[in-house]
Structure 1
Amino acid sequence: MGTKPRVWYPGAAYHVTARGNHKNDIFKDKQDFQVYLSIIEQAIEYYENMYEVICYCLMTNHVHMLVETKEKQLGYFVGRVNSIYAKYFNSKYDYVGHLFQDRYFSSLIENCGQMLVTSQYIHLNPVRANMVNRPEDYEWSSYSMIIGLRKEKLIKCNKILSYFHEKNSRERYKEFVLAPQKKL
């Protein structure tokens, strides 16, 4: 039985998740995280900006990205990134076999609310995993870029920030992301 084709159209956005095979770590040191991010950047250049990364969070054994497509299906981008990274990882750690569990998971983002809730989920991942107390403390996430603590790189903050009033949009996004934490 073949795999079910993913729904795609130009401008479609997706929540993408790729997990390590057997839930094993796919990032073992700082260099691994940096290499994965540089591969994403190279893939965006390779496909001449046909993809836009809205936000991301790299956990030790899985990846979350919110990606908008332009003129090519999502699989080209994610396939390229994960394939190049798997070759790097396998060579560095003398690893044999599949680095990633199955093919990547993707969920089509169908409206603005889903876009915001997905970005919130992505950015709170390290907090919920008890890796950090605050999402801005996690180095391998785009959250601190969106709220203005780090220089924007790789992502386009305007996509998320456009859902908030222009004035104080970064602070309003921070309040939105942290709102569920106040209830815990």
Structure 2
Amino acid sequence: MPLKHYYQGHHYYFITTITKNRTPIFEDTIACELFLNILTYHKFNCNYNIIAFVIMPDHAHIVIQPTNEENNISLIMKKIKGSFSRCYNKKYHRHGAVFQQGFYDRIVKDEKELEKTIDYIHHNPVRSKLVSEADKYNYSSYNFYHNNYKRFSLILHNDFD
């Protein structure tokens, strides 16, 4: 049975999407770059803000803020996952599902919870023992916030506030 999602406009959503069978497709930098490009494309296509992210080997965490009622979180994630899957399958000459069906989401209630959620996301690679410090992980918004790293400024700059 698919997960039910509760919609509240303009709120922050903590999203987790997991690869099918927890296959570590994001160990490949091309897959990570592709995922980021698709997040950025749909950010402008669907009018949402990305507050924070981390791409782990077999899942991704994202904090997304939809900015209009037309594009709810389910539609946004359907577009992101569908676009990524089509491109990934074409690139690697494969077919079939790339992600598990559905995704997990939680509405972030206030600024304190948002800070805790972002901290959780940024330190996920450390907890998973992929790196010793959060600033050593390449596919996270950590360095954008803490080290003035501009690489992800297009994806993280909130153009729709």
Q: TM-score, normalised by structure 2?
A: 0.88
1:83 is matched with 82
1:179 is matched with none
Aligned counterpart in structure 1 of residue 58 of structure 2, from 44, 56, 61: 61
Query: Whole-Å Cα distance in 2 between the matches of residues 78 and 4 of structure 1?
Result: 13
CA deviation after TM superposition for structure 1 residue 28, in Å: 4.1
Partner of 1:85, secondary structure, is: helix
Q: Which amino acid aligns with 1:86?
A: S
Matched, 1:32 2:31: yes
Partner of 1:153, secondary structure, is: helix
Name the larger-Rg structure.
1
Partner of 1:27, secondary structure, is: helix
Q: What is the count of residue pairs matched by the alignment?
A: 154
Percent identical across equivalent pairs? 21
Q: Which amino acid aligns with 1:154?
A: I
Moved over 6 A (4+): none
CA deviation after TM superposition for structure 1 residue 102, in Å: 2.0
RMSD: 1.6
Distance verdict in 2 for CA 1:15–1:61, change over 3 Å: same
Q: Which amino acid aligns with 1:52?
A: N
**Unaligned segments of structure 2, at least 5 residues:** none
Q: Higher relative CO (CA 8 A, sep ≥ 6), structure 1 or 2?
A: 2
CA deviation after TM superposition for structure 1 residue 117, in Å: 0.8
**Unaligned segments of structure 1, at least 5 residues:** 158-184
Query: Whole-Å Cα distance in 2 between the matches of residues 120 and 8 of structure 1?
Result: 24
Query: Whole-Å Cα distance in 2 between the matches of residues 38 and 149 of structure 1?
Result: 20
2:128 is matched with 129
1:113-152 to 2 correspondence within 5 Å? 113-151=112-150, 152=153
Query: Whole-Å Cα distance in 1 between the matches of residues 96 and 17 of structure 2?
Result: 16
Q: TM-score, normalised by structure 1?
A: 0.78
Query: Whole-Å Cα distance in 2 between the matches of residues 156 and 137 of structure 1?
Result: 22
2:155 is matched with 154
